[in-house]
Structure 1
């Protein structure tokens, strides 16, 4: 359990934590008790993890259902964090990661707060963010994000509804490596939920270049969502899409939402050819 000397010097937003790690209930509890998370962010983070896991949500259900202003949230977080001596380790990684993600005076201020703390390892990393700090960040990312994604504990890979909420690209990469049956659902979820098309499109490409017909179709659906939500596409996905049957949802949404000057000649030919057929059909009907 954290004590008063461990009180955090700043808070870390749930929207940052959700992409950086796949937290456990004890870690959410520790984050709230030690002050890294505000009450609303603790509940929000628990809700997001409950969505990740669905029927395996366990104690995230209780955390997500707690009222942020209620004393019950603090009691629950104390109970959860008190049973796991390692629950605080993820917050050393998250605190440094959040500080390093800032810029200018804010970055210097946050690193200064960390350097002044009693934890010698954290202080050393904060004083040397480009040396010791990078090593701590790499180790934390490997353990708390990549390691948990590789083991499958970050998501419930048997629940389509959970996977439709996927927003961590690393989870999708690990699922491809494990040949998860529902990885295509997760690619669609990533396309719907991640804010950056640059992070989504390489995973869409993996689906488009797969040998399975269903996964290839799910890649086309995901690419259509990226076009509709982000109005963009990359060269790799276009090259792969060319070998797919024409007239798919990806073809249509690329043509509708991405600037035409960024699209290849074969997609122009398909859509202009279709348009010509429609015009001739309408003309023919007008003669009847």
Structure 2
């Protein structure tokens, strides 16, 4: 499969219906900041959260990850995993603090030391005001995602406030990813980052869509962003963004063996013989594919096939 074109012209910003998040959002519903950031919260500590949940739920800052490890919110192994992923998201310069955490993640004592240094605001400490608050939000979000409805309706505003502050606002500002580095964007985890990039008109948003297709486990989160890329490309006659959308659709078909109607409708308007045509035919169940893709792959049926179909349907009348 050809490598993605990383020099796509910037797409037009999304309109009001695009659904991209607005920056800001109050965090008043979250617990208030605590002066001692390294001290454990009162009461029994919640169990560690898995990295595979955290990576998709929020773009962590380095002090937040460090605080989470020191207070048992994430294991040492998952601390190393998350530090590596965030270092990849941000690149060598902006991700230096994460690189330092990752480099020491296999040895408990050095890892604890670098985490304390990061939380205390020493070199690489970042700008988070209270790392505890993001973990309280993550713990609540994870608990509700597992079907634990403790807290009832009172959890709704708290969850929404945390999502606005720690996910949507950071995505809207662009601080969660390095939008100048295509290799970093090929590891895009969070769909909200892509939505906000469309809103800002990021030049490399098509690369981020490919990255989302490669990394996200849920095709229902990927396909709407693929469709957005194809729709923008077709509306603006942008062949580079169109190709990036096609490559993302091909990856989704190959990895998840599925497609949706909107992507198929948009793909039909693209030139035939693309990577998406090939991978849809190879990996998605044929019964789910449209007639125009069948015709492209198999060619026009011979006239004798048409005669046989006519005989089967009409009993020899009008079969040719």
When normalised by structure 1's length, the TM-score is 0.84
Q: 1:93 maps to what in 2?
A: 137
Q: Aligned pairs, how many?
A: 254
Residue range with higher mean Cα deviation, 206-215 or 16-25: 206-215
SS in structure 2 opposite 1:180? coil
After TM superposition, the structure 1 = structure 2 runs for residues 13-92 of structure 1, keeping only pairs within 5 Å, are: 13-55=50-92, 56-83=94-121, 85-92=129-136
* Deviation readout 1:168-223 (Å, 9 max, x if unpaired): 11111111111100000011111111111111000000111112210011000111
Runs in 1 of length 4+ with deviation above 3 angstroms? 4-7
- State the alpha-carbon separation in 2 of the partners of residues 67 and 250 from structure 1: 40
Instruction: Indicate the structure with greater helix content.
Output: 1
Please report how far the alpha carbon of residue 18 of structure 1 lies from its aligned counterpart in structure 2 after TM superposition.
0.5
Q: 1:3 maps to what in 2?
A: 39
Structure 1 residues 239 and 78, CA gap change in structure 2 (3 angstroms): same
Q: 1:241 maps to what in 2?
A: 267
When normalised by structure 2's length, the TM-score is 0.76
1:141 paired to 2:179: no
- State the alpha-carbon separation in 2 of the partners of residues 5 and 228 from structure 1: 45
- State the alpha-carbon separation in 1 of the partners of residues 231 and 39 from structure 2: 52
- State the alpha-carbon separation in 2 of the partners of residues 214 and 183 from structure 1: 11
Unaligned runs of 5+ in 2: 1-36, 122-127, 303-320
* Deviation readout 1:54-91 (Å, 9 max, x if unpaired): 13212011011113333111111112123354121101
1:161 paired to 2:161: no
- State the alpha-carbon separation in 2 of the partners of residues 167 and 275 from structure 1: 43
SS in structure 2 opposite 1:22? coil
Structure 1 residues 4 and 174, CA gap change in structure 2 (3 angstroms): closer
